[in-house]
Structure 1
Amino acid sequence: MQDAGVYSSEMDTIASNMAGYLLQSRADSTTTKYKHCFTLFEEYCKVNSLTAKPAQSIIVAMYLVNLLDQGKSYHVISSAFYAIKWVHRLNDQPDPTDSNIVQNLLETAKRIRSTPTSKKDVVDTEMLKTLCALYQNSTDVLELRDLSMILIGYAGFLRFNELSNLLWKDVDFKIDHIVLKIQKSKTDIYRSGKEVLIAKGCSVACPYSMLQRYMTAAHLSVISDSYLFKPAFRSKGKSSLIKLNKKLSYTRAKECIVKKLKVVAPSLKLGTHSLRGSGATMAANASGVSDRCLKRHGRWKTDVAKDGYIKDSVEKRLYVTKSLKM
């Protein structure tokens, strides 16, 4: 007969493992955000002598009204809504956010607290050629790193997290193109992996050549597990990548990318997402690129997601009325 103490220990282990597996049903960043949002809800309930778990729908409604009264943004309010939903479903408890009152309050927040999306401006290939021509003979690691990020992000329609998570071993140089292995992507939630193909060009803004120049200057092997784009430092006028295997932060990457792009586009509103949107826009407005290939290259699940990145050229927009032959 199995000892009761051993049985209890096994059950505790299984219960602990179950909790860990359940938390992995969402991305780590999402789990962290939801935990923080639910903690704020718990604090509100504690101050007002209310029960946070399980919570009644009227309590959740009161909390959302409280956030609205404080002038919180739709992002904050929706995060609170989904955090409360997540915790209750995770604990197999009745979901208070299913209430019509709660859902209508979320819609209210969307109407009165949403801010217009601020789309970044588009850079074109000619601008990038002009930029790269300024560094045509450079062997500086920092300069080549920034230019490589720009060209790879532009040609591969890469999101920042896809760009920053690239390892040296994720780059495979073929005779006439590069294959980038995207190990982790926003649209690849089950981590099946994606490959992005970038053709070898013939101008100073060729991503293939620029990446080769950068990798040669940085003296790292293509089979290395190191991040492709790492922080760099200058010493006695020479730049080098840090030895620590640490990827470049979003803040620093944005600063470097925007600073470079501003050289050729000083009046444009730019950010890291400018690369993805600009590359997609230029390809979409070119003739001969199929919509299916465009969507596959950008790893978009839907046409709605794809179209949100693309700005139609004036010529294409005018073609609609020109086709009327008025």
Structure 2
Amino acid sequence: MTIEDAERITELANEDRRPSTRRVYESKWSLFETFCDERGAETLPAGEELVAAYLSKRSEEVSLSTIRQDVAAIRWMHERYGAEDPTEGAGVSRVLDGINQTSSPEGGRGKKQAVLTKHVRAMVDALPLGEPEEGAGPAAIARHLRALRDRAIILVGYAGAFRRGELARIREEHITLNADGMEIFVPKAKTEPRTVGINFARTADFCPVRSLRGWTLAASIEEGPIFRAVPRSAEIAPDDQAEPITGKTVRNVIGDAAEAAGLDPDGVAGHSLRRGHLTQGALNGAELNRLMKQAGHADPRTTAEYVEDAKRMETNTSRDLGL
């Protein structure tokens, strides 16, 4: 084969997709590269386990159709460079089967309902926040304490756009109060450590700052993990013995509150507060760079996916067809 033959083959191989499709694949591939860079992993060829981990993570944030684009982009890039396609491996296939089984055609597994401000208010209103009667037993006291904790989890999680793991690991020493509200330092994040600002809310009943302080005061928390288990005995672990709750507990708190508020519990998950913050913020006119910073996204395209969802009825062109 001559040099001219090789050049012609390369040129045509690079035109194996329409320009619009290539742009989509290149964008998806860039996100995969970022994921690999964060883990110090090789992208070409990518290992099967790495691809499975990436798709599992993406399934918590994007729809089933986007996952399929991710797979196509990874396959395309490997084929272009003559590398073995990791998406054909049995491990990746099992992950994709799991995503398909737990996804709806409309929304996807990870693309749970965005819990907006009206939903958050309803979830808080559904909590049993009433003071226990005088002489109430441990179970009633525990129920009240748990409601105070859960209100703080919901409001702080929503206002801070936290990932559920970040929310579960907040410590007293990470919190700094100021005249406008509070700042919370996030030392362990998927990208870089960041500090999240949360303002006082206009309404005291739905204020994340006041709710958090109401919980810590009631639970006598002065240091260590903020969010702790509330046993039936109502005896919350002291500071020197306390362990943080898990991301699973955060998910259960959000799901239970959503169900009590009349929302579909199958459509709400731990990611719903974070998705809701970004969606509501976009609907209310928050700029992309501010949303990106609040969420701790390394790539603006990740944040843009939320904004696109929120603005779809404003940006679609069906109104321009003259129907």
Whether TM exceeds 0.5 here: the answer is: yes
What is the correspondence of 1:236-247 to structure 2 with a 5 Å cutoff?
A: 239-243=234-238, 244-247=241-244
* CA–CA distance in structure 1, aligned partners of residues 258 and 213 of structure 2: 21
SS at match of 2:84: helix
Are the structure 2 counterparts of residues 113 and 146 from structure 1 closer, same or farther at C-alpha, using a change threshold of 3 Å? closer
Checking the alignment, whether the CA contact within 8 Å between 1:257 and 1:271 is kept in structure 2 is yes
Find 2:159's aligned residue among 151, 155, 160.
Answer: 155
Q: What letter corresponds to residue 237 of structure 2 in structure 1?
A: I
Checking the alignment, whether the CA contact within 8 Å between 1:141 and 1:240 is kept in structure 2 is no
* CA–CA distance in structure 2, aligned partners of residues 166 and 320 of structure 1: 40
Report the equivalent of 2:190.
186
**Quick one: percent identity of the two aligned structures?**
18
* CA–CA distance in structure 2, aligned partners of residues 129 and 322 of structure 1: 33
Find 1:248's aligned residue among 239, 245, 248.
Answer: 245
Checking the alignment, whether the CA contact within 8 Å between 2:151 and 2:211 is kept in structure 1 is yes
* CA–CA distance in structure 2, aligned partners of residues 214 and 300 of structure 1: 29
SS at match of 2:195: strand
Give a deviation string over 1:91-118, Cα, whole Å, max 9, x none.
Answer: xxxxxxx999994230434689634551
Report the equivalent of 1:201.
201
* CA–CA distance in structure 2, aligned partners of residues 187 and 302 of structure 1: 10
Find 2:304's aligned residue among 289, 297, 307.
Answer: 307
Runs ≥4 in structure 1, deviation > 6 angstroms? Answer: 76-79, 98-102
Are the structure 2 counterparts of residues 99 and 317 from structure 1 closer, same or farther at C-alpha, using a change threshold of 3 Å? closer
Checking the alignment, whether the CA contact within 8 Å between 2:288 and 2:304 is kept in structure 1 is no
Checking the alignment, whether the CA contact within 8 Å between 2:187 and 2:194 is kept in structure 1 is yes
* CA–CA distance in structure 1, aligned partners of residues 87 and 297 of structure 2: 26
SS at match of 1:234: coil
Give a deviation string over 1:102-157, Cα, whole Å, max 9, x none.
Answer: 94230434689634551111122112222323445448221111111111111111
Find 2:260's aligned residue among 259, 263, 268.
Answer: 263
Checking the alignment, whether the CA contact within 8 Å between 2:152 and 2:215 is kept in structure 1 is yes
Are the structure 2 counterparts of residues 254 and 102 from structure 1 closer, same or farther at C-alpha, using a change threshold of 3 Å? farther
Find 2:176's aligned residue among 167, 172, 176.
Answer: 172
- Return 5+ residue gaps in structure 2 as ranges: 1-36, 57-77, 101-107, 133-143
Checking the alignment, whether the CA contact within 8 Å between 2:169 and 2:245 is kept in structure 1 is no
Are the structure 2 counterparts of residues 157 and 174 from structure 1 closer, same or farther at C-alpha, using a change threshold of 3 Å? same
Are the structure 2 counterparts of residues 311 and 219 from structure 1 closer, same or farther at C-alpha, using a change threshold of 3 Å? farther
User: Are 2:73 and 1:75 aligned?
Assistant: no
What is the correspondence of 1:93-242 to structure 2 with a 5 Å cutoff?
A: 103-109=83-89, 114=96, 115-116=99-100, 117-118=108-109, 119-134=111-126, 135=128, 137-138=130-131, 140-188=144-192, 193-203=193-203, 204-221=205-222, 224=223, 226-235=224-233, 239-242=234-237
Checking the alignment, whether the CA contact within 8 Å between 1:127 and 1:265 is kept in structure 2 is no
* CA–CA distance in structure 1, aligned partners of residues 299 and 196 of structure 2: 18
Report the equivalent of 2:317.
321
Checking the alignment, whether the CA contact within 8 Å between 2:288 and 2:303 is kept in structure 1 is no
Q: Which has the higher Rg, Structure 1 or Structure 2?
A: 1
Q: What letter corresponds to residue 164 of structure 2 in structure 1?
A: F
* CA–CA distance in structure 2, aligned partners of residues 78 and 132 of structure 1: 33
* CA–CA distance in structure 2, aligned partners of residues 198 and 120 of structure 1: 24
SS at match of 2:269: coil
SS at match of 1:300: coil
* CA–CA distance in structure 2, aligned partners of residues 215 and 179 of structure 1: 16
* CA–CA distance in structure 2, aligned partners of residues 157 and 78 of structure 1: 22
Checking the alignment, whether the CA contact within 8 Å between 2:228 and 2:242 is kept in structure 1 is yes
Q: What letter corresponds to residue 212 of structure 2 in structure 1?
A: L
* CA–CA distance in structure 1, aligned partners of residues 80 and 321 of structure 2: 51
Deviation at residue 199 of structure 1 after TM alignment: 1.0
* Equivalent residues, number: 234
* CA–CA distance in structure 1, aligned partners of residues 86 and 227 of structure 2: 40
With the length of structure 1 as denominator, give the TM-score of the two structures: 0.61
Checking the alignment, whether the CA contact within 8 Å between 1:229 and 1:247 is kept in structure 2 is yes
* CA–CA distance in structure 2, aligned partners of residues 267 and 99 of structure 1: 42
Alignment root-mean-square deviation, CA: 3.7
Checking the alignment, whether the CA contact within 8 Å between 2:163 and 2:274 is kept in structure 1 is yes
